[in-house]
Amino acid sequence: MLPSALHRGPACRRKRARHVTFILLPVSLFSRVAHAEDTAAPLTLPAVVVTASADAGRSSSTRIVDPNLPATVESVTRRQFSNWNAVNAEDALKYTPNLAVRKRFIGDLNSIIAVRGTSNTQSARGLVYADGLLLSNLLGNSYSFPPRWSMVNPDSIERVDVIYGPFSALYPGNSLGATVLISTRMPKRFEAEADVKGFTQHFDLYGVNANFNGSETTATLGDKIGRFSFRLGVNHLENTSQPLQFATLARSSTPARPGDIPVTGAYFYNNQTNAPTAVLGVNGEGVEHTIQDQWTLKTQYDFTPIVQGTFTLGYWHQTYNSRTSTFLADSNGNPVYSGKVDIGGYEYAIPAAALAPSLGVNENWLYGVSVRTHQVQGWNAEATASYYDVTRSEARTANAGGPGNGPGVVTFGDGAGWKTLDLKATWTPASRNAGWRGHGLTFGYHYDNYYAATQTYNTANWQSGAAASLANAFGGKTQTQALYVQDAWRFLPRWKFVYGARYENWNAYGGRQAIGATSLPYPQADLHHVSPKASLSFDVTDDITLRASIGRAYRFPTVSELFQGQINGSSIVNNNPYLTAEDDLSKEFTAEWAHWNGVWRVSLFQDDVKNTIFSQTDTTVIPNVTSFQNIGKVRSRGVEVSYAGEDVGIRGLDLLASLAYTQSKILANAQNPASIGKYFYRIPLWRADLAATYRIDARMALTLAARYSGRQYNTLANVDANPDVFGGTSTYTVADARFTFKPAKHAEIGVGVDNLFDARYFVYHPYPGRTFYVDAKLRM
């Protein structure tokens, strides 16, 4: 079987036919032929690839995404990432071309996709689906609103497909960056599997020198009984992160005064702007200990040979404790957390909350149901509904550092969530041979509703006290309804034209904010846009395909961008209820060549985004105000080169390789003129990935891999001249390795290491140090 990256264009499919037998079935997204595997998103026309993999007979056939998608698609299969150090669902993306996941530690909730001209704080510019159910948290647009990866049992994933850019009318404007489609397995007979992983890292930085450990246990059970099939998966993860944040103060030039407490233990370094800085201890998110429990149940029933229903139920629960510590001690060795201190003869005033710890608990539910038909030709219909419910969200933070149960604040976010509904119909022509001509139609309706309500209260006991007086609160809702149509027209044997349009009507309502007795409602907002799309492809030969795509997309504001913030008197900060939608015009030209047992791809791309929504400081007013604002224009353009192949050079060697250059610059920004002409926030100039797996024999495999990220900036004005420190965003090269051994037919053992050379690199927060993995798996 060729790697999934080869499943991309007509020429690639012809090349693939030399290695595997495949059957192309142009049916609606979740269609089933011989009980084949569900695809991952509700808006694609799948194909089925029949393979002779080791899991054949255990789960359904591998699917690829719609061959009519007018965009670049990169895919990773279970066969590939099973030989990587993969613990969480998002780890399947770690070597995807020109894409990175901001994952600070195993179990990190704030894992955001960064791709092409979208940075790792722009979470609303990416879509993630698992078996057609939307996992994207579009309540906000930052690291605090990542996709709900934790709703996917990692051992149940069959494949992951990444669609680049907003070129398909089937997806909303949030696809501006990328759309990730996760497909999970469904059994064809009884199966059970258990997997235990352990991992540890050693980390030393700024006075911290310790080991941080974790483990994960996963079990799955499934069967197919007549027309009914099910899969149940449970997962338990416990891990302790490296220090994520440090308490710092600018190096003082004020001489110490009588009464200042002399302390030792401070660490000095030059920060990201090369300013001398004192490190006082581990603060903020600190060293986070997380315990996460998750289970999912997916059931499927074939009502008739052409009508199928699916029900999914998911549950996820987390408790976390972010421990802080001070590096400072007085002359008697007692720890010092706050106050005026004497460090080396100079005075430092440490705020009470500088080293404050925190803890919290979260509980989420996911419900999904779909009904679909799956005829090989003619009309098909599909309906999918999902409901994501945050049933408990409680975060507690102390007002001051140090031991004890003193006062603090508690924040409740219960009741947030989203609902979606998708209705779709497709028409598939009768003939699908190489010379067929005709139209493949898709049209449908989409609805989503996002809502949030957060209240923060003062409490006398930050760890367990009851809520007292209201500190602040915010809430609001957004709703989007869309109609779309797309036609894949093969008007000549080697030419195909995919075109369509999407109409979206968006409104925000119910916005409100309060601090204490002060309450302020926000006005409603309404926007509507039409997004046209077009793509023309030409099969130059059986092995070479050229494709040019263009598309407009509108990314609408989220609840938190509009309504979340603070009230100071009558002024509003940190939010903006008058934001308008991001307006993007994307262009891409791609060439794919099936050669050397694999596929080469070269893509040129450009995104011109007007009204980019970003949190920045308006320097044209006094005092300066930091809030979400519309940046006039940001242009991102670049080139990607990738290769994916099997048996490259020698039998058993699988290779994934990519190199990408992206130049993202601010062309207009009225609120911050100093940023004009500068590079946009956290978009590296270069990215490169390499993953080589050598299958020594049927029982053993060795993987060596490397990830590179080039120069990028943590400020819009590009003033961070020293990026490779805490507070900066690093250039880095990281090497990974893994060895997999199957001692018996139903057993597997793996050992691996990430960050092999213990590079110290940062995404403002430190990334993990050298991390060792060991895991054991049993299946039947």
Q: What is the mean pLDDT of the chain?
A: 88
At residue 619 the predicted structure's pLDDT band, cuts being 50, 70 and 90, is low
pLDDT of residue 626: 76
Which residues have C-beta within 8 Å of that of residue 773, sequence separation ≥ 6? 85, 87, 197, 198, 199, 738, 750, 751, 752, 753, 754
What residues does each domain of the chain span? Answer: 4-779
User: What predicted TM-score, i.e. pTM, was given to this entire model?
Assistant: 0.89
* Residue type at position 55: D
> What percentage of the chain carries pLDDT values higher than 90?
81
Whether the pLDDT of residue 60 is over 60: the answer is: no
Residues 192-215 have a mean pLDDT of: 95
| 245-271: pLDDT as tens digits | 999 999 999 999 999 999 999 999 999
Which residues have C-beta within 8 Å of that of residue 478, sequence separation ≥ 6? 138, 449, 450, 451, 506, 507, 508, 509, 556, 557, 558, 559, 562
| 131-183: pLDDT as tens digits | 999 999 999 999 989 999 999 988 899 999 999 999 999 999 999 999 999 99
pLDDT of residue 538: 97
pLDDT of residue 601: 98
Q: Which of these, 656, 678, 655, lies nearest to 666 by C-alpha position?
A: 678
pLDDT of residue 21: 27
Find the range with the poorest average confidence among 406-420, 623-637, 746-760: 623-637
- Residues 602 and 396: their CA atoms lie apart, in Å, by 49
Q: Which of these, 591, 593, 614, 605, lies nearest to 635 by C-alpha position?
A: 605
> What percentage of the chain carries pLDDT values higher than 70?
88
pLDDT of residue 33: 30
Q: Which of these, 265, 272, 276, 269, lies nearest to 355 by C-alpha position?
A: 265
Encoded tokens for 462: 């930050």
Encoded tokens for 30: 């979740």
Residues 111-127 have a mean pLDDT of: 95
At residue 207 the predicted structure's pLDDT band, cuts being 50, 70 and 90, is confident
Contact 679, 706 (CB under 8 A): no
- Residues 183 and 39: their CA atoms lie apart, in Å, by 5
How many Cα atoms are found within 13 Å in the side-chain-facing hemisphere of 67? 24
Whether the pLDDT of residue 464 is over 60: the answer is: yes
Whether the pLDDT of residue 237 is over 50: the answer is: yes
| 305-354: pLDDT as tens digits | 999 999 999 999 999 999 999 999 999 999 999 999 999 999 999 999 99
Strand-pair category, 22-23 with 47-49: antiparallel
CATH superfamily entry for domain 4-779: TonB-dependent receptor, beta-barrel domain (2.40.170.20)
Encoded tokens for 547: 């494709």
Whether the pLDDT of residue 588 is over 80: the answer is: yes
300-305, Cβ contacts within 8 angstroms, sequence gap of 24 or more: 300/38, 300/186, 300/228, 300/229, 300/230, 301/227, 301/228, 301/229, 302/32, 302/35, 302/227, 303/227
Contact 590, 546 (CB under 8 A): yes
Beta bridge partners of 323: 287
pLDDT of residue 432: 53
Strand-pair category, 261-262 with 339-343: parallel
pLDDT of residue 30: 29
Whether the pLDDT of residue 44 is over 50: the answer is: no
- Residues 327 and 243: their CA atoms lie apart, in Å, by 13
